[in-house]
Amino acid sequence: MSENVTFSVEVFSPRWGHGDTYIIVLSDRGMKIAGVQKTAVCSKQDDGDCAWTGSSDMNDMQPLVAILENDHIYPPSAFMMALKSAWKAWLDRRLDDTQVQGKITSLFEWLNIVSKSKPNSKFWIGIL
């Protein structure tokens, strides 16, 4: 396991109609996900769990969810738990660098499928 792993994923933005590159950095201290203009960081706590901080201009919403929803991306409810689980599996050495990148990339591919298949009739414009 490396000290950190850095890779990028493409995230489809329904708001803009194209993919954006997000940079993901995993380390023993936390997980950083940087979008186009905003960043969310999951920092490891003393109890082994993580706490999210970062760009959140949408009330008290979780920072990564706020970044995604700003681009009209609505992650499935299990997305955040799955992301954290992949990072923890890497920390515990159950996943190596290549495996964790593959697992997280597949989560974002799932997110893209959800985003690309949301309803797009005139009724839903401005709502979703």
Residues sharing a CB contact under 8 Å with residue 90, sequence separation 6 or more, in sequence order:
1, 5, 26, 96, 97, 99, 100
| Strands 30-34 and 18-27, bridge-based pairing | antiparallel
* Structural domains of the chain in order of their starting residue, each with its CATH number: 4-116 (3.30.2210.10)
Both tokens assigned to 115: 């985003």
Residue 108 backbone dihedrals phi, psi, to 5 degrees: -70, -30
DSSP state of 45: P
User: By mean pLDDT, which of 8-12, 50-54, 86-90 is the weakest?
Assistant: 50-54
- Supply the mean pLDDT for the chain: 91
14: helix, strand or coil = coil
**Euclidean distance between CA atoms 92 and 36, whole angstroms:** 30
- pTM, rounded to two decimals: 0.91
Rounded to whole angstroms, what are the CA distances from 84 to 49, 63, 90? 9, 14, 10
**Confidence at 56, pLDDT banded by 50, 70, 90:** low
Are the C-beta atoms of 6 and 24 separated by less than 8 Å? yes
